[in-house]
Amino acid sequence: MISIHNHRLNTTIFLYCLMILLSAPACNTASKQSAKKSADDSFESFTLRFLDDYWKQNPSAAISAGYGKYYELLKIPNQDAFDADIAFSKKYLDSLSHFNYEMLSGKYKTDYKILENQLRSTVWYIDTFRNQQWDPSYYNLSNDSYEIINQQFAPLNDRLKTLSQHLQYAPEYYRAALQIIHEPTREYTELAINQNEGGLDVFGQSLADSIRASSLTQPDRDSLQLRIGRTIAAMKQYVASLRKMLAVGTTTFRDFRIGKELYDRKFSYDIVTDYTPEEIYKLAVSAKNNYHRHMYTLANVLWPKYCSEKKKPEDTLLMIKTVIDAVSLHHAEPEHFVDTIKAQINALERFIIQHNLFDYDTTYPLQVRVMPAYMSGVSLASASQALPYANSAVTYYNISDLTAIPRERAESQLREHNHWMLSILSIHEGIPGHCLQGVYNSKSPDTIKAIFANGAMVEGWAVYTERMMLENGWGNQAPEMWLMFYKWSLRECCNVMVDYQMQCTDYQKSAFVNLLTNEAFQEKEQVEEKYHRAKVSQVQLCAYFTGATEINALRDAYRHQQGKAYSLKDFHEKFLSYGSAPVKYISELMINENKQ
């Protein structure tokens, strides 16, 4: 993939070399270099000014990034505020356009593109996509409040005072939200009810404990309590209003499907790739068929070991499913679940060192922990990467405590995440997936790329590492390991298929259930969860497969270019050194840098 501006850059380098060959006066080259340096310097100071202004304009984003400033601000979501966001973005798009893009070096060219995409996308989301009108779950004060209380940006007393200021206009916030909501989708309305109700916990017992532990003066304490009380009331009122919209017949709800036109634009803003949604869709379908062929071969190999007593089904997919079910009975027990994963992470660490896959040592700030209560109930395991501005660079691998849920549900979770699946999960969430990438991301001094992290790069990386580890011998090439790998991978390509069809076509639930149950071997509960998610997200489900497809293509190109000098470790170290930029931009930088 060589884009137009790469081409121009190459031409510049070529002329530059020619000048040296013709022994051009040294001052020419020197002045050219210093002009480039000063373009980079002024771009760098521009981004610092921009960022502080950006956080002030988007205090909620500042909280998510761990910036530690402007947390007291709460943007009341009325039309003026949205207009101001558009004006802000247009102003900075104009500032960007005054830079001579061609004079910037590779790193800054990429930052330029990332900022440009971010600002254009902000304008598009507000004036065209308009989810601020049809997604009531957009409005929720609990997440930011949780962060203000728990981030270590200031001593407890100051954090509580900040929270108090932040909540001062909570009633106005929810009133404005109700005014701007127009023809929401039923699904997002239900989601908003659940999430706002769930969010009330943030203002419960543990906050009361923090206030008691603080040394706030009595007046500060009283005013904080008053504002918390008003916030709770406003959230409940918001939930009640949304419930009423669902109950009475007078509200018009729009279809959850956004349609092809919006989908295409959202795909290009969110993913940032040269692939079209249709190209990715076709690749996903052919990957699915390819996985089925491999699984059929593997299931035949495993049949005598696991199913010799049974009659072999004629139907290919049913035969595969029979073997999967039998293999899935090998799993950890709820009591040993956390220890099993801890041991697995240690084994994965040893493996990537022994196989020379990364410049890794075990002092990397990575911790396995039981999932904190406020995150639990959503998934079996997850990764928490350090925030871009956080002082601590620790990334966490969070694991659910399965002894805390009913035995039957725990067993079902464990069959799904059986012995082999569990190690793929640990590769994806832990090492060398999200946690390891998080460590590299916080080592990278590249703020712009860390802040405006590209979801397809982040998910694509975790997916990329799954196959890479197996190819390098994780699981000893056991047929069980590969069978489960393909089952896992079917999720990723089916995610693309259902997302596209749900959002752009008249795809029905029966077809959805049929695909995931019969062709991706998923359980009823998983299928229902996915169906819900496919109605309250668009494009995001494509991030996994698209990102991994791009990374594999880049690795091929890089290997080809490097020839004998190529090593997998070198590819990984280089790739991760660019922070969480879109793979498309990393490709341009990696391939170019190497040509110089």
Name which of 89 and 426 has its Cβ closer to Zn ion.
426
Determine if 543 is a binding residue for Zn ion (CB under 5 A).
no
Is residue 348 within 8 Å of residue 428, measured between CB atoms? no
Residue 547 backbone zone (phi > 0: left; psi -120 to 50: alpha; other: beta): alpha
Determine if 8 is a binding residue for Zn ion (CB under 5 A).
yes
Do the bridges between strand 381-384 and strand 395-399 make them parallel or antiparallel, or are there none, so unpaired?
antiparallel
Name which of 104 and 298 has its Cβ closer to Zn ion.
104
Only one of the segments 1-9, 361-369, 388-396, 571-579 lies at the binding site for Zn ion (rule: CB under 5 A); that segment is 1-9
Interactions with Zn ion, residue window 167-206 (CB under 5 A):
none
Least gap, CB of 140 to Zn ion (angstroms):
23
Name which of 100 and 356 has its Cβ closer to Zn ion.
100
Name which of 65 and 462 has its Cβ closer to Zn ion.
462
Q: What are phi and psi of 570, to 5 degrees?
A: -60, -40
DSSP string, 330-357: ----GGGHHHHHHHHHHHHHHHHHHTT-
Only one of the segments 4-12, 45-53, 133-141, 356-364 lies at the binding site for Zn ion (rule: CB under 5 A); that segment is 4-12
Only one of the segments 5-13, 40-48, 357-365, 408-416 lies at the binding site for Zn ion (rule: CB under 5 A); that segment is 5-13
Interactions with Zn ion, residue window 259-318 (CB under 5 A):
none
Least gap, CB of 7 to Zn ion (angstroms):
7
Least gap, CB of 428 to Zn ion (angstroms):
6
Name which of 5 and 221 has its Cβ closer to Zn ion.
5
Is residue 195 within 8 Å of residue 180, measured between CB atoms? no
**Coil vs helix vs strand at 14:** helix
Which residue, 576, 449, 532, is CA-closest to 188? Answer: 532
Least gap, CB of 54 to Zn ion (angstroms):
25
Only one of the segments 141-149, 284-292, 407-415, 453-461 lies at the binding site for Zn ion (rule: CB under 5 A); that segment is 453-461
Only one of the segments 3-11, 204-212, 526-534, 560-568 lies at the binding site for Zn ion (rule: CB under 5 A); that segment is 3-11
Name which of 59 and 433 has its Cβ closer to Zn ion.
433
**Interior/surface letters 542-568, b for 16+ CB within 10 angstroms, e for the rest:** bbbbbbbbbbbebbeebeeeeeeeeeb
Q: What is the C-alpha separation between 528 and 524, in angstroms, rounded? A: 6
Q: Give the count of beta carbons closer than 10 Å to the beta carbon of residue 524.
A: 11
Q: Which long-range contacts (C-beta less than 8 Å, at least 24 apart) are formed by 294-299?
A: 294/482, 294/486, 295/320, 295/483, 295/486, 295/487, 296/320, 298/323, 298/479, 298/482, 298/483, 298/486, 299/323, 299/324, 299/483
Least gap, CB of 106 to Zn ion (angstroms):
10
Name which of 113 and 257 has its Cβ closer to Zn ion.
113
Q: In sequence order, what are the beta bridge partners of 368?
A: 397
Only one of the segments 204-212, 243-251, 461-469, 558-566 lies at the binding site for Zn ion (rule: CB under 5 A); that segment is 461-469
Name which of 491 and 535 has its Cβ closer to Zn ion.
491
| Six-digit token string for 206 | 């543990």
Determine if 533 is a binding residue for Zn ion (CB under 5 A).
no
> Which residue in this structure is represented by tokens 């925030």?
387
Name which of 181 and 541 has its Cβ closer to Zn ion.
541
Binder among 245, 284, 462, 490 for Zn ion (CB under 5 A): 462
Least gap, CB of 509 to Zn ion (angstroms):
26
Only one of the segments 232-240, 409-417, 454-462, 484-492 lies at the binding site for Zn ion (rule: CB under 5 A); that segment is 454-462
| Six-digit token string for 583 | 């793979």
Least gap, CB of 364 to Zn ion (angstroms):
19
Q: What is the C-alpha separation between 219 and 229, in angstroms, rounded? A: 15
Q: Which DSSP state fits 254? A: B
Residue 30 burial by Cβ neighbours in a 10 Å radius (0-12, 13-18, 19+): exposed
| Six-digit token string for 492 | 């990723």
Only one of the segments 51-59, 448-456, 459-467, 572-580 lies at the binding site for Zn ion (rule: CB under 5 A); that segment is 459-467
Least gap, CB of 264 to Zn ion (angstroms):
24
Name which of 136 and 547 has its Cβ closer to Zn ion.
547
Only one of the segments 196-204, 460-468, 529-537, 556-564 lies at the binding site for Zn ion (rule: CB under 5 A); that segment is 460-468
Least gap, CB of 434 to Zn ion (angstroms):
6
Write each residue from 62 to 101 as x if it is in contact with Zn ion (CB under 5 A), else as -, in one continuous string.
----------------------------------------
Name which of 78 and 592 has its Cβ closer to Zn ion.
592
Which residue, 306, 494, 527, 338, is CA-closest to 416? Answer: 527
Q: What is the C-alpha separation between 70 and 162, in angstroms, rounded? A: 9
Least gap, CB of 513 to Zn ion (angstroms):
24
Q: Give the count of beta carbons closer than 10 Å to the beta carbon of residue 392.
A: 11
Name which of 410 and 458 has its Cβ closer to Zn ion.
458
Size of the site for Zn ion (CB under 5 A): 4
Name which of 190 and 499 has its Cβ closer to Zn ion.
499
Q: Give the residue closest to Zn ion by C-beta.
A: 5
**Coil vs helix vs strand at 369:** strand
Q: Give the count of beta carbons closer than 10 Å to the beta carbon of residue 38.
A: 11
Least gap, CB of 9 to Zn ion (angstroms):
6
Only one of the segments 86-94, 440-448, 451-459, 573-581 lies at the binding site for Zn ion (rule: CB under 5 A); that segment is 451-459
Q: In sequence order, what are the beta bridge partners of 396?
A: 367, 384
Binder among 1, 5, 265, 405 for Zn ion (CB under 5 A): 5
Distance of CA 328 to the CA centre of its chain: 28
Q: Which DSSP state fits 185? A: B
Is residue 526 within 8 Å of residue 517, measured between CB atoms? no
Is residue 498 within 8 Å of residue 490, measured between CB atoms? no
Interactions with Zn ion, residue window 116-155 (CB under 5 A):
none
Radius of gyration of the chain (CA): 26
Interactions with Zn ion, residue window 325-384 (CB under 5 A):
none
Name which of 175 and 434 has its Cβ closer to Zn ion.
434
Is residue 536 within 8 Å of residue 265, measured between CB atoms? no
| Six-digit token string for 200 | 């009330």
Which residues of the chain form contacts with Zn ion (CB under 5 A)? 5, 8, 459, 462
